[in-house]
Every structure is written in C-alpha cells, then in structure tokens.
Amino acid sequence: MKVSALKIKSWSEEVISPLAWQRIVLKALPTLKEMGFELNTLMNPSETLVFSEKAFAAIDAAVKELYQTEVLPELVTA
C-alpha cells in the first residue's frame, strides 16, 4: 500500500477545511515521530513522500477522530 502525503494534504484542505491538514498532523504526530517523521516534513510534504500502512493508519485515525470521516479510498494506491 502506498499513500501520497501530498494527496491526503490536498484532499483534507479542499474537502474538510483549509487548516485540516495541520490539525491531522498534530494529532498523529506522536505516532509519526516514532516512525522517524519530522513536523516540518509533514506540514509541507514533497511529492515523493509516501506513507507506509502504519503511518497511514495513524493519519486515518486522526481524521476519524477529528472529523468523523475517513480518508478517501481513491487516495490509496497498491
């Protein structure tokens, strides 16, 4: 499973709210930091930043908790 951080960021800012990505990252940050992610990399992801299944699960859990919705399945690639 590959999930583009930039696609999720764009989706959250367009569909949820302009500040959604910031809130999502801050909510998932403790888990993501354990995986080696840094705040500045997450806030401004490059086109090549791809989340593993575990990192995506942390992002998706934050989206569910904060906004009672899920990351769209179309954003997840094989």
Residue 52 near residue 35 (C-beta atoms within 8 A) = yes
Q: Which domain holds residue 28?
A: 2-77
Share of the chain above pLDDT 90, in %: 83
What domain count does the chain have? 1
Q: What is the pLDDT of residues 8-44, one digit of tens each?
A: 999 999 999 999 999 999 999 999 999 999 999 999 9
Q: What is the mean pLDDT of the chain?
A: 92
pLDDT band, residue 74 (cuts 50/70/90) = confident
pTM: predicted TM-score of the whole model, two decimal places: 0.91
The b/e string for 53-76 (b: 16+ C-beta within 10 A; e otherwise) is eebbebbbebbeebeeeebeeeeb
Looking at residue 62, the DSSP 8-state letter turns out to be H
Give me the pLDDT at residue 78, please.
47
